[in-house]
Every structure is written in C-alpha cells, then in structure tokens.
A and B are shown apart, each in its own frame.
Chain A
C-alpha cells in the first residue's frame, strides 16, 4: 500500500514539469503580466486537444476546468486512470461538444499542478520547486495566459468557451476581457464574484493545509514532507459544499459503514464519513497542497464588477457574444441568484443571453454529472450557435 502511494505521488509530481500533455512554452520574451504586478517568465501551459481545427480556424471550443479539475477533460487521466471529467456526457463524438465538429482545447490553469506553471513547478531561477515564491495569481491571469495560448495556436476567435464553477468564472472573465474573441459562451454554475461564504469555506480549507505540520511554510518538497492530511481535510470540507443535504441523504442517509451497530469510537462508523475520508485521501494523490492555496485564492479575489468601477454592466458593454448561463437548483455554492445577477448585467448590456435553471438535488457538482436536461440545453445552445456561425448548415 505504501509503495503504491509513493509511486502515484511520483506520477503526480512528474506531471508538474513534464506533463503527459501538449505543452506551450513561453520564453522570457513573452512574459505573463500578472494582476499582482509582476511578470511571470518563462512559463508554460499544459493543454489537451480533441477533434480537428478546420481550415478557417473557426471551430475551436475552449473548455475551462474547475478548482480541482485539469486539462484531462476527455481522456483517461494519467495519474488516476479515471475517465476525463466531461468525457462521458459532454465532450466526444456525437456529444454536445462534438469532437467530430469542434476543435476542443482544454488547458491546465496557471497555478495548477498538472503541467502549467504553478507552485509545484520548478522555478527556473532556483531549479527548486516554486512553493510560496510563486506569485499569487488571479482568474484574470489565467484567462490572460489562455489568450496567449490561443495566439500561440494561431486561433483568433473561439467558437465557444465553456466551463463550470471556477471554469465558469474564467468564461465570464473571457467575456469581460476578450469579448471579440468569443462567439458563444457557457458560464455554468458560476458567479461574477466569490461570495463571503465561499471565501470563508476556502479559508477553512487553506487553514487545514497550513495547520498540517508537514506543510512547513510551503517548503514540503525541499523538506521531504507531505501535508497530505491537511489537504485531505480541506478536500473533505470542500466536498460537502459541492453536494447538497438532499443528495447526501439520498446517497448515505445515516447508514453505517460495514457494520450493524455503532462502535462507540471515532472510527468512520457512518457511510458518509467513510466516503469523505476516501474523497480526501484520493484527492491528495493527484493534487498539490500549495496549488490548492493558490487556486482557492484566485477564486476569492474574483470580482468582475470591482474591475469595472463597481458596475457589472460596464464589464459587458457592447458584447455580441451569444451566452447561455446555467445554474442548478440545489447548488448552494453558486446559487441561482448569482447566475441571475450575471443575466441581469448581460441583459442591461443588451447581450444575447439565455438562462436556464436545472432542477436537481445533486448540488454544485451537477455540472459534472449526467443531468439530461442540462446536457440537452448545452446541445441545443451550441447547435443554435453553430448554425449562426455557419459551422453547420441551417436546418431550414
């Protein structure tokens, strides 16, 4: 067991500098100018692509991952061996983001730990892992780096940009920063700013990581330690917020785990405890603790209105992108009311916006799951957009 764990960790840490993905390298001549006021150079972005770019380069779809997701959206994950996070419902031949028609690009975010430059990457200046020396990044920095990736790939405009949760935040930032480069957009289970409650949850997670004695001020690589317990606790707490009371009750209720009676101990008597422990321990096999700090921070700082003199509508003025905002009824992390604020601002800006709320008890995570109505709406929206873009002949 211990051996297997060590092996998997080696897999994960190997992915940070030399990922089993495509990698775009940006040298000293192409620095990433960060909101924190510093320039990151050199840096790299790891990304996956699916499908084929058409001759006039008009069929590219940028898919953006959530906090703990990565670029392996539609292939078997190189570390976990599990299917990609949107591979079974959303991306593939004949699926709504149809790889027979679209060229799908999914990058790992800056600050991540699956091959794009982040705190686990090697700092070229010191030849050691960055750790907390890595500059603090924002959602806007992620999007800025993605625009550089598109330039690198020679793609001027995206047919669509789609993502849920932190991915949805990046979609919204694309609309605010590069509206002319986006023909259609799907911000899913997202918000234009991180709420106080969500910042609070993130702070608990970060404190759990930093309270682990093995974290060592972020220098655990150098010191040969591993703050896996702290990161696992952070994940357990966060995972609860991705579900809902109803979903937890339906899945686990008060059932005991492999026993008929309580043990009168602090063992994982309940199925829900066992499930959370498993979520925590499997997460640390594929995720870097410092990355978790950086990415949660990036989400906390996200506030599009604040970037536009406090008026959200200003961020989207004159936008011509076709937008479909989607929320889920039981999502208490990014509740429908926050999606409505997006819609309100887009409407005030005269944008061509659709908004659908999906009824589900699966909570925030519903955007990753097989929710037929959700999938039908994404399909319908993209088909409409693709007719308008001339990617598919009009049906009438």
Chain B
C-alpha cells in the first residue's frame, strides 16, 4: 500500500537499487547545511532524507498520496499538495531553497511554478530531463516517435510529463522569469557531470539531465 506507483511517477528513473539518484546528490550538493528547504514533488522523500542527515530543515509537497504517506511514515514533514495550485499559499521568503527535482516537466504551468519558487525561496533548484539530449533527438529523427529513454521510460500516453524542455529552453524560461543562474550542472547518461567549461550547445546535446541553482535577481547571466 505504501509503495509508490512508478507507472505514474513523473520522476520514475531506472537505477540500481539502494543507491541515491545522481541528480539528487547534485541537488543536495547545492544546499548549504542547516538551511530551510521546501522540496516540491518530493516523491518518496529520498532527497529530504539525504538532506536531513546534513542538518537541513526540510519540508515536502507531494502529489501522490502513496508518496506522502510513505514520507510521513519515515518521519519527514511532507504534505499532500500540487505544485500548480498550492505554492500560491506559501508566504514570501519562507525558505532558503525551493527544490523541484524532475518535476518541472510534469507541471501544468512551469513558468508560474518557477516564479512562485523564486518568490517563496531565496534560491530555487530545478533538475529536469533534457529533451535536447542527442539520443532523444535521434529517436525522434529516425524512429519518428516520442522518445523513451532510461530516465523517461514511460510512453507518451501514460506519462505525467507534459512540458518537456531542453537545457536551452530552460535558459529561456530563466530569462523570462528573471531568474539568475548561480550554478548549472549537466549530467551525462552515466550521471557524470559534463565539463564545466563546455559550451551550452555541448551541454544541450550531451547532457541527459540538468540541475540549475537559481536566485531571484535582475538579469540572468551564466557564471
């Protein structure tokens, strides 16, 4: 009863059992110890658990009841809620970080969600699968079908992911929302970070997923 339904899990990913998802480790690495944090779409609470060991005061929102109940049974502070409708209820500057890991593409209004994240938190951390990844491009080009990959294993008609984007697309969203990029990491298919000094087009082609640390500020720029 408590097991998450991976069929409907927007961040369902293949991975060896017992290990922590690589993107979560990258996300966790961007969080200052002792910070107050909100994990939007926290799933089964893996990231919150990881951060709890680092003295982070973490809270979570999760859409699936199974995920919520599993988290609460683990002693995590998680409530059932929807990123699209519930972030509006949070006061400004309530958190140091608001995290959206592998969930952006499952929201109905990614722009509104990102704007709320930057309002509620001093920082926003967003991780997402890169739809500009070369394997995705090749599948669409040669098979002529919506790609299914290791981190996007669900068919288009079953997936909850409705707003795919590429790294380049996400940068555009950051521009539009006035988010300042403080850090960005692209991971290859083995979860290894790509060279930091690589150009954006390289990341957009070879990054299977990306993690961005953002803050609210004037004009966005790459560090």
Residues of A within 8 A of B (CB): 322, 324-325, 343-344, 347-348, 350, 352-359, 372-373, 376-377, 379-381, 383-385, 387, 396
Known: A350-B91, A352-B59, A355-B80; 12 extra A-B contacts, CB below 8 A, are A344-B89, A347-B89, A348-B90, A354-B77, A355-B78, A355-B79, A356-B72, A357-B65, A359-B65, A373-B69, A384-B74, A384-B75
Do A358 and B69 contact each other (CB < 8 Å), given the known contacts A347-B89, A352-B59, A376-B2? yes
A355 touches B68 (CB 8 A): yes
B72 touches A380 (CB 8 A): yes
Contact B77 A352 (CB under 8 A): yes
Chain A residues whose C-beta falls within 8 Å of the C-beta of B69 in the assembled complex: 356, 358, 373, 376-377
Q: Is the CB of B79 within 8 A of A380?
A: no
The minimal Cβ–Cβ distance linking B208 to chain A, given in whole angstroms, is 31
- Nearest chain B CB to A206 CB, angstrom units: 36
Which residue of the partner chain, among B53, B73, B80, B94, contacts A380 with CB atoms under 8 Å? B73
Whether B89 lies near A354 (C-beta < 8 A) is no
CB distance from A366 to the nearest CB of B (A): 14
How many residues on chain B are close to A (CB under 8 Å)? 22
The CB with the most chain B CB atoms within 10 A, among A352, A354, A359, A383, is that of: A354
Residues of B within 8 A of A358 (CB): 69
Least CB distance from B86 to A in Å reads 9
Which chain B residues (131-171) contact chain A, with CB distance < 8 Å?
Answer: none
Q: Does B76 contact A (CB under 8 A)?
A: yes
Interface centre among B59, B73, B90, B94 (most CB of A within 10 A): B73
Main secondary structure, interface of B, reads mixed
**Minimum distance in angstroms from B65 CB to a CB of chain A:** 6
Over the window 34-63 of chain B, the binary record of Cβ atoms lying under 8 Å from chain A Cβ atoms (1 yes, 0 no) is 000000000000000000010001010000
Given contacts A373-B1, A376-B73, A377-B73, contact A354 B78 (CB under 8 A): yes
Chain A residues near B78: list those with CB within 8 A.
Answer: 354-355
Shortest Cβ distance from A326 into B: residue? B72
Residues of A within 8 A of B53 (CB): 396
15 A-B residue pairs with Cβ-Cβ distance under 8 Å, sorted by A, are A324-B72, A348-B91, A350-B91, A353-B77, A355-B72, A356-B68, A356-B69, A357-B65, A357-B68, A357-B80, A376-B2, A376-B69, A377-B72, A379-B73, A384-B76
The answer to whether A373 and B2 touch (CB under 8 A), given A352-B59, A359-B65, is: yes
Could you tell me the distance between the alpha carbons of A357 and B63 in the complex, rounded to whole angstroms? 12
B94 near A354: Cβ-Cβ < 8 Å: no
CB distance from B59 to the nearest CB of A (A): 7
Task: Look across to chain B and name the residue whose beta carbon is closest to the beta carbon of A348.
Answer: B91
Shortest Cβ distance from B84 into chain A, in angstroms? 16
B89 and A348 form a contact (CB under 8 A) = yes
**Which residues on the B side are within 8 Å of A324 (C-beta)?**
72
Task: Judge whether B75 and A387 touch: CB under 8 Å.
Answer: yes
Q: Smallest CB-CB separation from B60: which chain A residue?
A: A354
Nearest chain A CB to B68 CB, angstrom units: 6
